[in-house]
Amino acid sequence: MISLETAVMAFVESITHVFGVETGSVSHRVGQVHVIHHPNDILHHYPREFSFRREFVSLGGATEDVLESVRLTLSSPTEDHVLYVFGDDVGANIPQYEAMGYQHAWNNGLMAVQIDATRSPLAPDYFLIRELTEIADVAMYEGLGGPTAVGHTLFDPHIHSFVSYDQSGKPLGRSQLVTKVDRFAYVSGMFTAPDHRNRGVGSGLMNTMHKRARREGAEYCILVPSRMASEINFYPRFGYEVVAPHSVFVPVGPDLPV
pTM check: above 0.75: yes
* CATH code 1.25.40.10 for 119-238: no
Q: What is the pLDDT of residues 136-156, one digit of tens each?
A: 777 777 777 766 544 446 789
State the pLDDT at residue 90: 84
Q: Above 60 in pLDDT, residue 108? A: yes
Helix intervals (H) in the chain: 4-23, 63-73, 94-99, 135-142, 201-215, 227-231
Q: What is the pLDDT of residues 152-205, one digit of tens each?
A: 467 899 999 998 988 888 889 999 999 999 999 999 989 888 888 888 898 999
Q: Where are the domains of the chain?
A: 4-109+244-251, 119-238
Dist CA 112 CA 219 (whole Å): 10
